[in-house]
């Protein structure tokens, strides 16, 4: 981890945005050379100037990253810089890629086939159901789902991908040691296990308002396209869509009610030329996605997300219809417990119910 100490120091210097930080490293060759450069040498660089050069030379002497190094070890955080060969492929080519990423979990080469799904935090039931279903169907084909782990649409999209046994990446507007919102602790743990939680902000960074528009460019940058499920006209999701267009990504939108303010943004995107999405195939056709995981791998990964009780009931359900009374008898659970488990299995997309309280595998 000591080899990244200078990267951490440079990333914590104020007034150094991603673009200027990368410019300095490319000019000098390494963070070590930037930090050891004289005031005169720094101030000569176009776009830096005397004011920023003064900040760099002053803060280099005062900043400590010892606490950062301890937290990185504690939370098992991986540091990835834009000079590393495993820096995310899609992110390399945007206008201002983050020089440094903090990662919990694992980024993989196949994550280059990724779709971002974003939307309002104050989502309707319709919006959350659509986001979850589309994320599940897309992830079943081995496509990575990227979102921001916010309440509402983001949360629904991450859960949909996990239910499919697929991969999902959460891009945070805080440090990767911070769970935000707090109720997403279980979700964050699952994402770390099955995908990655990513941020350009140092550990202990709080989820402050200015961070979120900045992180949105990473959400779109990691993806080949952005799907907006539900969003008002003034929404962070529309900012993500704007970044996507600037980065040359495709923008997709789910239509909503003309009477709902929460669909005004998505409907506006459609009027501006976004691709209308009603089903996962609309996205596959546009982006020419090809499956990465086999169906056997998908089923295996999906079943790992079930509780022991859910697995027991699921094992009894096959392609032939089975009545709920038979499930109660076979499982030796009470009727109320079996009914509750069946509801969860339906929500997660494992089974389907037919008239007469009979069930089959999806």
What is the pLDDT at residue 276?
97
Residues β-bridged to residue 228: 118, 253
Classify residue 292 as left (phi > 0), alpha (psi -120 to 50) or beta: alpha
DSSP letter string, 268-285:
HHHHTTPEE-SSHHHHHH
Q: Is the dihedral of CA 261, 267, 269, 275 positive or negative?
A: positive
Name beta bridge partners: 361: 351
pLDDT of 61 reads 86
- For residues 267 and 256, is the Cβ–Cβ distance under 8 A? yes
Give the per-residue pLDDT at 352: 82
Listed in sequence order, the DSSP H helices in the chain are 5-11, 18-28, 31-36, 39-43, 49-62, 66-74, 125-139, 153-163, 185-194, 211-221, 236-246, 264-271, 280-287, 295-303, 308-316, 324-331, 335-347
CA distance 114 to 123: 23
One digit per residue, the tens of pLDDT, for the chain of length 362 reads: 446 899 999 988 888 888 888 889 989 999 999 999 999 999 988 888 888 899 999 998 888 899 999 999 999 999 999 999 999 999 998 989 999 999 999 999 999 999 999 999 999 999 999 999 999 999 999 999 999 999 999 999 999 999 999 999 999 999 999 999 999 999 999 999 999 999 999 999 999 999 999 999 999 999 999 999 999 999 999 999 999 999 999 999 999 999 999 999 999 999 999 999 999 999 998 887 755 444 445 555 666 678 889 999 999 998 778 999 999 999 999 999 999 999 989 887 788 888 889 998 87
Cα–Cα distance between 354 and 257 in angstroms, integer?
29
Alpha helices in 140-279 (DSSP H): 153-163, 185-194, 211-221, 236-246, 264-271
Tokens found for residue 105: 């979990």
| pTM of the shown model | 0.78
- Please give the pLDDT value at position 321: 83
- Please calculate the CA angle 296-148-9 and round it to the nearest 5 degrees: 110
Q: In what order do the strands lie in the sheet with 168-171?
A: 78-81, 100-105, 196-199, 168-171, 144-147, 114-118, 225-228, 250-253, 275-276
- Give the phi and the psi of residue 114 in degrees, each rounded to 5: -135, 150
Question: Which domains, from first to last, does the chain contain?
Answer: 2-67 (1.10.150.20), 103-287 (3.40.50.450), 306-361 (1.10.10.10)
CA distance 47 to 16: 11
Q: In what order do the strands lie in the sheet with 322-323?
A: 322-323, 358-361, 351-354
User: What pLDDT is recorded for position 248?
Assistant: 95
Q: Are 164 and 350 in contact (CB under 8 A)?
A: no
Among 361, 348, 362, 353, CA closest to 164: 348
DSSP SS3 for 102: strand
- B/e letters for 335-348, b = 16+ CB within 10 Å, e = fewer, are eeebeebbeebeeb
């Amino acid at each position: 981890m000591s080899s990244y100490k200078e990267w951490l120091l440079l990333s914590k210097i104020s007034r150094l945005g991603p673009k200027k930080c990368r410019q300095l490293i490319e000019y000098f060759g390494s963070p070590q050379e930037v930090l050891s450069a004289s005031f005169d040498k720094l101030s000569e660089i176009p776009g830096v100037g005397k004011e920023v050069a003064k900040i760099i030379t002053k803060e280099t002497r005062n900043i400590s990253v010892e606490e950062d190094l301890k937290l990185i070890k504690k939370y098992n955080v991986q540091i990835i810089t834009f000079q590393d060969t495993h820096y995310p492929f899609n992110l390399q080519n945007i206008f201002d890629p983050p020089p440094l990423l903090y990662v919990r979990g694992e980024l993989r080469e196949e994550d280059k086939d990724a779709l971002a799904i974003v939307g309002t935090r104050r989502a309707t039931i319709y919006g959350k159901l659509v986001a979850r279903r589309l994320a599940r169907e897309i992830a079943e084909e081995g496509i990575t789902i990227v979102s921001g782990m916010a309440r509402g649409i983001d949360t629904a999209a991450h859960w949909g991908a996990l239910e499919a046994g697929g991969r999902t990446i959460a891009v945070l507007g805080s440090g990767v040691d911070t769970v935000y919102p707090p109720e997403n602790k279980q979700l964050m743990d699952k994402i770390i296990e099955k995908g990655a939680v990513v941020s350009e902000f140092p550990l202990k960074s709080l989820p402050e308002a200015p961070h979120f528009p900045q992180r949105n460019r990473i959400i779109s940058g990691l993806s080949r396209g952005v799907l907006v499920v539900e969003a008002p006209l003034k929404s962070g999701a529309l900012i993500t869509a704007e970044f996507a267009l600037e980065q040359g990504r495709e923008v997709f939108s789910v239509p909503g009610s003309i009477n709902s303010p929460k669909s005004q943004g998505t409907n506006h995107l459609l009027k501006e030329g976004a691709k209308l999405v009603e089903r996962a195939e609309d996205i596959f056709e546009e982006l020419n996605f090809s499956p990465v995981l086999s169906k056997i791998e998908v089923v295996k990964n999906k079943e790992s997300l079930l509780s022991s009780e859910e697995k027991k009931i699921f094992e009894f359900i096959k392609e032939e219809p089975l009545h709920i009374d038979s499930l109660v008898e076979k499982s030796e659970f009470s009727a109320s417990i079996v009914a509750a488990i069946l509801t969860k299995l339906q929500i997660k997309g494992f089974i389907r119910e037919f008239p007469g309280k009979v069930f089959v595998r999806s």
